[in-house]
Amino acid sequence: MKANPTIAIIGSGVMAEAMIAGILRQKVTTADQICAADIRDERVNELHDLYGIKPFTDNLRAIEGADVVILSVKPQRIESVYTALKGKIPTGAVVLSIVAGASISAVSNGLLHPAVIRAMPNTPAQIGEGITVWVASPAVRQDQIDLARSILTALGQEVFADEEEYLDMATALSGTGPAYVFLFMEAMIDAGVHLGFPRRISEQLVAQTLRGSVDFFLGAKAHPAHLRNQVTSPGGTSAEALYYLEKAGFRTAISRAVWAAYEKSKALGKGKNSEAPEK
Ligand SMILES: NC(=O)C1=CN([C@@H]2O[C@H](COP(=O)(O)OP(=O)(O)OC[C@H]3O[C@@H](n4cnc5c(N)ncnc54)[C@H](OP(=O)(O)O)[C@@H]3O)[C@@H](O)[C@H]2O)C=CC1
Ligand SMILES: O=C(O)[C@@H]1CCC=N1
C-alpha cells in the first residue's frame, strides 16, 4: 500500500470530518495529502484551520492526483457531483462512496469510473467507535481494498460484505441506528426528569445504564433475552414496565422503523421518495 496516499473528499460535512479526524488519528496519510471540497468555502476553511487539510470549493481541482475520492454529499446532491466529475476521476484512483442508497452501478455509471467502493459508516465514527459495512466493485484492486480498509478501520469496526444488498440493510440498522439509540436515550432521560431527578443525574444514570448493559452483553456472550430475564424479578418492577412496553408495540415500532429506513435507502438510490408514512 502506498505511503501517504492522496485522499480527496467531495462534500465536507459531518461524516467527512469524522473521516478526516480518523484518517489523521490513525496516520493513514498526512493532512497536506487530504483535499477536502465543499460548496461552502467557510466550511472547508474551518476544516483547514482544525486539521490542516487542503480546502477546495472546486470539486474538479480537489480530485487532481487523488488515490481515493471519497463521496460524502447528501444523496439529493449526488447528481451534481456526477455532472462535475464524470470521466474526470484519475485513472488509478478508487472512489469510496458513503452516500446512502447510491449503488455501485449508479456511482460507476455516474462518474464513468469502474473502481468503486460503497460503504455505510455511522456517526460514532467521530470518536473511532463506528461500524462500517462496505462492498467493492470487481475493478477495485487489492491495494485499493487495503487502503479503503485502513480508512474505514480508522472510523471503528468494519464489515466487508460480499453482496451489495447488505448495504441498504446496514443503512437502516447501523447507519441510521444511532438515531434510534439517541431517541431512546432522550426518552429515558426525560422519564427520569418526569420522576423528579435533576437532568444531570438522569443523564448519568441513563448513559451508564446503556454503556453497562452493552458491555455486559458483549462480555456475557448471552442472548439479550437471557440478560433481560435476569433483571425481571417475578411480580417486580421490570415485569411491570416490560408489560407496558410490549403493550405499546415497542418491538413492532422498532421493526417498522428499521424497515422504513431500509425502504427509504432503496428509494434514495432510485432518486425517488419512498411511500408517504401511513396515517
Ligand atoms: N450523517 C450520518 O449519520 C451518515 C451519513 N451518511 C451519508 O453520508 C453522506 C454525507 O452525510 P453528512 O456528512 O451527514 O452530510 P452533511 O450535509 O453534513 O455534509 C455534506 C456536505 O456536502 C456539501 N455539498 C452539497 N453539495 C455539494 C457539492 N455538489 N459538492 C461538494 N459539496 C457539496 C454540503 O453543503 P450544504 O450543507 O451547503 O448543502 C455539506 O457541507 C450522505 O450521503 C449520507 O447519506 C452515511 C452514514 C451515516
Ligand atoms: O439519515 C440519513 O439519510 C443518513 C444515512 C444513514 C444515517 N444518516
CA 128–ligand 1 middle distance (angstroms)? 19
Cell numbers for 158, please give them: 468494519
| Highest CATH level, class, for 7-163 | alpha beta
81 CB under 6 A from ligand 1?
A: yes
Amino acid code (one letter) for 28: V
Region(s) of the chain under CATH 3.40.50.720: 7-163
pLDDT along the chain (279 residues), means of 10: 92 97 96 98 98 98 98 96 97 97 97 98 97 98 97 97 96 98 98 98 98 97 96 98 98 98 94 63
Instruction: Specify the amino acid at residue 117.
Output: I
Q: What are phi and psi of 159, to 5 degrees?
A: -130, 115
Tell me if the domain spanning 177-269 has CATH number 2.60.40.1730. no
Q: Please report, as a single letter, which amino acid is at residue 19.
A: M
DSSP string, 88-100: TS-TT-EEEE--T
Choice from 74, 88, 152, 174 to test ligand 1 binding pocket (greatest atom count within 8 A of CB)? 74
CATH 1.10.3730.10 domain residues, the chain = 177-269
Phi, psi of 103 (to 5 degrees): -75, 160
CA of 130 to the centre of ligand 2 (A): 14
Q: Which of 123, 210, 250 is nearest to 202 (CA)?
A: 210
The confidence score (pLDDT) of residue 161 equals 97
Q: Tens of pLDDT along 144-180?
A: 999 999 999 999 999 999 999 999 999 999 999 999 9
SS3 45: helix
Q: b vs e for 17-53, b when ≥16 Cβ sit within 10 Å of the residue's Cβ?
A: bbbbbbbbeeebbeeebbbbbbeeeebbeebbeeeeb
Amino acid at the residue 251: R
List, for residues 209-240, the tens digit of each pLDDT value: 999 999 999 999 899 999 999 999 999 999 99
155 lines ligand 1 (CB under 6 A): no
Residue pointed to by grid coordinates 496519510: 29
Task: Report yes or no: 11 and 77 within 8 Å, Cβ to Cβ.
Answer: yes
Q: Is the ipTM value over 0.90, yes or no?
A: yes
In the chain, which ranges are continuous DSSP H helix? 14-25, 41-51, 59-62, 78-85, 104-111, 142-153, 165-170, 177-195, 199-220, 224-231, 237-247, 250-269
**What spacing in Å lies between the alpha carbon of 227 and ligand 1's midpoint?**
39
**Whether the CB of 22 sits within 6 Å of ligand 1:** no
Instruction: Check the annotation: does 59 bind a ligand.
Output: yes
171 Cβ closer than 6 Å to some ligand 2 atom = yes
273 carries a ligand binding annotation: no
Dihedral of CA atoms 141, 37, 154, 214 in degrees, nearest 10, equals -120
Index of the ligand 1 atom closest to the CA of residue 179: 3
* Cα distance from N-terminal residue to C-terminal residue, the chain: 53
Ligand in nearest proximity to the CA of 35? 1
